[in-house]
Amino acid sequence: MNKKYLDKLEYNSVLEVLCSFAKTYIGINKCKALVPSNNANFLLNQTYEAYNLICRNGNLPVSPIDNIDILIKNLESSFSLTASDLLKLSHILKTSRELKEYFVFNTENYPNISEYFSMLYINKSLEKEVSSKILDENTISDTASSKLNSIRKAEKNLGLEIKNKLNTIIHSATYSKYLQDNVVTIKNERYVVPVKEEFRGQIKGFIHDVSSSGSTVFIEPLSVFELNNELNNLKADEQIEILKILEELSKKFEAITNELKNNVKLIGEIDFIFAKASFSKSINGIKPEINEMKYINLISASHPLIDKNKVVPIDISIGKNYSTLIITGPNTGGKTVALKTIGLLLLMAYSGLLIPANENSSIYIFDEIFADIGDEQSIAESLSTFSSHILNIVEITRKATDNSLILLDELRIWYRPN
């Protein structure tokens, strides 16, 4: 279908609404790129099956997913991923599993969409392992490995030992008068105490920081120097163990990169199909019959972009007893809306979208839908409105076939007397 005619019939406005029903970036992109097809019967069946599933099982359990192309390339190059990256991949597995669990019906009843669900790769053990080891993008669970658990316990005990030593200092009669506050704090990942600047020489140790006013220096007493060193060594061991955990998880995902790539495509396709179904449901759409007799019979059809509480449904029949239909009436009587409704509903059906009409409505798949609707004046080419319409109609008559539908709005016959 020519883009010019799609624009005239407000097809792109329908796509904008359709996009709001998709959740994934792939589904949204597919909605934006949707075009009418001569394979309408298959597409309508897909949407209708998804529509029935929504009515039977509730909304599709899908949420936004990240583009994992770079992550897959890193895995294929044997690079280790971050905790955040691994959570993104685990989300793909979780979404795939939930979609698989959503589709628990006899595949014979859903022959046009069941394959998308059946092809999803599931790995519950890996999904569970990631969720148990990575609490969020910045936190690895203590129980991610026995060694990590042991290191963190040692850190906790050593930290308490250091604090106890420093608490003894800050609460002692000898040293408390030298302190700005009776608190233990951390500077440069070392436990320190805040000392008044004028007494900095009274507590032996290392200065790690000075307050912005210069009145306080943060000193690490010599009595906890070795303990702080030991604690930092434990923290280094902790980071090494975390990297090892992330590397092991990355290797497990590296083994299923093809499955992950395929799952992302399937999730996007399922999201796209169900976005069409959800949109169709929102407009009370039905699956029209497709006939081979080259006729249209739309019963109580409504324009999908007009408020359902304000739109006036129309009945349109053409092709059985006559091949030309003239719509007449007063200004603002709905003639243009009627033309757009006919063309737009056909385009929607060809795209696999159910249409707002009554059951038993029937359509034919035309090879092209032409439309001359609205003001075609071209300032750049200095063409009058009438001339633009004539040029458009000339193009239509030149390209139209016996299997085309032509929609002409405000058709005028101009007569110039001699």
For 348-377, what is each residue's pLDDT tens digit? 999 999 999 999 999 999 999 999 886 544
The rounded distance, in Å, linking the Cα atoms of 289 and 295 is 11
For residue range 36-76, what is the model confidence (pLDDT) as tens digits?
999 999 999 999 999 999 999 999 999 999 999 999 999 99
What pLDDT band is residue 107 in, cutting at 50, 70 and 90? confident
The rounded distance, in Å, linking the Cα atoms of 191 and 17 is 58
For residue range 278-303, what is the model confidence (pLDDT) as tens digits?
999 999 999 999 999 999 999 999 99
Residue 310 backbone dihedrals phi, psi, to 5 degrees: -115, -25
The rounded distance, in Å, linking the Cα atoms of 363 and 407 is 15
Closest C-alpha among 288, 400, 271, 273 to residue 40 = 288
Q: Taking residues 194-217, what's their average pLDDT?
A: 94
pLDDT above 60 for 242: yes
How much of the chain, in percent, has pLDDT values that exceed 70? 95
The rounded distance, in Å, linking the Cα atoms of 44 and 276 is 10
Question: Across the chain, which distance is largest between two alpha carbons, in Å?
Answer: 120
Structural contact between residues 139 and 82, judged by C-beta atoms closer than 8 angstroms: no
Tell me the residue type at 133. K
Q: What is the DSSP letter of 383?
A: B
Domains of the chain from N-terminus onward: 3-16+286-408 (3.40.50.300), 18-141+243-282 (1.10.1420.10), 146-242 (1.10.1420.10)
Structural contact between residues 364 and 298, judged by C-beta atoms closer than 8 angstroms: no
Structural contact between residues 19 and 242, judged by C-beta atoms closer than 8 angstroms: no
pLDDT above 50 for 199: yes
Predicted confidence at residue 120, as pLDDT, reads: 97
3-state helix, strand, coil in the chain (%, to 5): 50, 15, 35
Apex 187 CA angle, 182 and 192, nearest 5: 40
**Encoding tokens for residue 313?**
């449904």
For residue range 16-29, what is the model confidence (pLDDT) as tens digits?
999 999 999 999 99
Predicted confidence at residue 331, as pLDDT, reads: 79
Average pLDDT, the chain: 92
Apex 325 CA angle, 316 and 356, nearest 5: 20
Three-state DSSP state, 358:
coil
The rounded distance, in Å, linking the Cα atoms of 299 and 289 is 12
The rounded distance, in Å, linking the Cα atoms of 188 and 306 is 64
- More reliable by pLDDT, 253 or 323: 253
Predicted confidence at residue 382, as pLDDT, reads: 46
For residue range 45-56, what is the model confidence (pLDDT) as tens digits?
999 999 999 999
Predicted confidence at residue 328, as pLDDT, reads: 86
The rounded distance, in Å, linking the Cα atoms of 241 and 246 is 9
Evaluate the CA torsion angle 108, 109, 111, 115 in order and state its sign.
negative
Residue 332 backbone dihedrals phi, psi, to 5 degrees: 60, 25
Predicted confidence at residue 268, as pLDDT, reads: 98
What pLDDT band is residue 393 in, cutting at 50, 70 and 90? confident
pLDDT above 80 for 272: yes
Could you tell me the end-to-end alpha-carbon distance of the chain, in angstroms, rounded to an integer?
41
Predicted confidence at residue 378, as pLDDT, reads: 43
Place of tokens 């303990």: 227
Burial 288-302, CB ≥16 within 10 A → b, else e: beeeeeebbbbbebb
What pLDDT band is residue 332 in, cutting at 50, 70 and 90? confident
pLDDT above 60 for 396: yes
